[in-house]
A and B are shown apart, each in its own frame.
Chain A
Amino acid sequence: MKSFHNTRRKVVNVVMLSLTGVCTLIAAGTLVFILSYLFIHGVRSLNWEFLTKLPTPVGETGGGMANAIIGSAKLLFLAMVVGIPIGFLGGVYLAEFAGTTTSFVLRYTTDLLNGVPSIVIGIFAYTLIVLPQHHFSTFAGGVALGIMMIPIAVRSSAEFLRAVPGSLREGAMALGASKTKALLTVVIPAAKNGIMTGILLNLARVAGETAPLLFTSFSNRYWSPGWDQPTAALPVMIFTYAVAPYDDWHQQAWSAGFVLLALVLAVNITARLILSKRGPVAH
């Protein structure tokens, strides 16, 4: 009887261990697969021309996506201008000033906003900006991406502010600092690196968004000077080129995917580096 139990336990142990192992392998393997596949296909047609030239007309080979790279950069810049102040200050309010009820409502709304499908955010920006202006623009796309950033910016800023030990606040206030002064001179500086990391990861997340741009910045095969005209962006170009019936366009879509992924990875790694430099905040 006893040996039966032991055998059973060993079998269950082996089965469960392999099951969890296989699942982990699938999770990690997916990323490795995507990365290597994108690398192999993307690098093949990645060249100087791709990074510096405009797209060529249909039928001509060569050309690049310089306008989409610059377009994406401009859109992300606008997204930061819109998303960071609102997200950060909202996070400060949530962490420092909101009462129990307000805090609950704020958390709930930011969670819901975060769950709104990105295409709906796109339609929102379309209604708010594109319709009254009667044309697509970089501005509208940037606002749409900025709105996408807000919920996570609020929550991550609030979390990093709350992680600052209360003893630091008390220390500042015991020296005669007001609550606001303590917040500005001690708490926010202590949370600064964490907040920046949260914002960078957030930015990397919206960098790949396609749906909100379809109705807002639309696309453009040429340069888009200023903020008032439709612009190309990497994710939209990937979509357009991938569904087109031309082989060299498919190649360029791979390269665009690779460039986008490289940018996102660079941002991610920067964010991790900043976070790892975070001062040893006493807990």
Chain B
Amino acid sequence: MRTNTALRNLDMPMAGYDKPESRAACKISATNLNFYYGSFQALHGISIDVYANRVTAFIGPSGCGKSTFLRTLNRMNETVRSSRLEGKVRLDGEDIHELEVSEVRRRVGMVFQKSNPFPKSIFENVAYGPRVNGYGSKSALRDTVEQSLRRAALWEGVKGKLHDSAYSLSGGQQQRLCIARALAVDPEVLLLDEPCSALDPIATAKIEDLIFRLKDSCTIVIVTHNMQQAARVADYTGFFLLGRLIEFDSTTSIFKAPARKETEDYVTGRFG
């Protein structure tokens, strides 16, 4: 029943959106995005600017469309049969649907909810992206792998066993390996789809620490179920509900002074 209250004003203009961001440039901007799985509309008119070198978090209850939205940013949703997208997504001002899909995915990396290392060695996992995108000599590849593992704070733990199977790592290490794998193609944006949902608090803390350090070199968008996590890592937070972006603002505003009743209900734990 509370959900009904929350839904009452769903089609009001989104709150908080017109606040200018003075220091950071806009990295990704989505305009009027509608997304359909067959006849089901999963996203309703999403418009948002994601700022460069900031961490942007999307929160909201299950099935609210936050992951679907994340997957439109690197065109992963195209792989879903009978899906359809309306609206525009721009990366540095360029329409991502006019770029080569492989270029989009190289520039916009993604880490998934469940760590998905390939059944290959640790080295081969990280080297996969550079290899597929066809750059680097053998020694350059070794350097890239080391750099990426260092950036993912995994190098010290695995430098002696680069040729062991990726499955020999713990869950948290596997997820950091997936982050290293995504970093190896030097993406401008990193999309994280609930990267900690299967991890214990210590592994989660390590990933959050990593996110904090990575935002110097890339723009980070993270989907999370965990509101404390959004509050800890994100500069900006967007609240999704039933396929709509209800409110998008600085994380402080979202958690301390939400403009919309639905957001307040959600962040104070009254539903969701």
Binding site for B on A (CB under 8 A): 165, 167-168, 170-179, 181, 185-186, 189-190, 279-282
Contact = CB atoms under 8 A, between A and B. Distances in A.
A168 B128 CA distance: 12
B218 to A, nearest CB: 15
A104 B110 CA distance: 34
Interface of B: 74, 76, 79, 102-103, 105-106, 109-110, 112, 114-120, 128-129, 132-133, 165, 167, 178, 181-182, 185
Contact of A189 (B115, B119, B178): B119
B119 A281 contact: yes
B118 to A, nearest CB: 5
Contact of B79 (A170, A181, A189, A190): A170
Contact of B74 (A174, A179, A189, A280): A174
B129 A176 contact: yes
B116 A282 contact: yes
Contacts of B118: 168, 171-172, 186, 190
Contacts of B178: 171
Given A172-B132, A280-B167, 8 more contacts: A171-B116, A174-B112, A175-B133, A176-B129, A177-B102, A177-B132, A190-B119, A282-B117
Given A185-B132, A190-B119, A175 B79 contact: no
A189 B118 CA distance: 10
A175 B103 contact: no
Nearest to B134: A176
Given A174-B105, A175-B106, A175-B109, A167 B114 contact: yes
B116 A175 contact: no
A32 B58 CA distance: 63
13 contacts: A170-B112, A171-B117, A171-B181, A174-B74, A175-B109, A176-B105, A176-B185, A177-B132, A179-B79, A185-B132, A186-B118, A186-B128, A281-B119
A279 B165 contact: yes
A25 to B, nearest CB: 40
A175 B182 contact: yes
A173 B79 contact: yes
Contacts of B165: 279
A174 B114 contact: no
B192 to A, nearest CB: 12
Contacts of B117: 171, 282
Nearest to A280: B167
A104 to B, nearest CB: 16
Nearest to B113: A167
Nearest to A175: B129
B102 A170 contact: no
A200 to B, nearest CB: 20
Interface centre among B109, B132, B165 (most CB of A within 10 A): B132
Contacts of A282: 114-117, 167
A282 B105 CA distance: 23
Contacts of A281: 119
Contact of A174 (B76, B103, B115, B167): B76
A170 B106 contact: no
Contacts of B181: 171, 175
A26 to B, nearest CB: 41
B99 to A, nearest CB: 12
A281 B114 CA distance: 13
A171 B111 CA distance: 8
A41 B132 CA distance: 59
Contacts of A171: 112, 116-118, 178, 181
A175 B165 CA distance: 20
Nearest to B100: A176
Given A170-B76, A173-B105, A165 B116 contact: yes
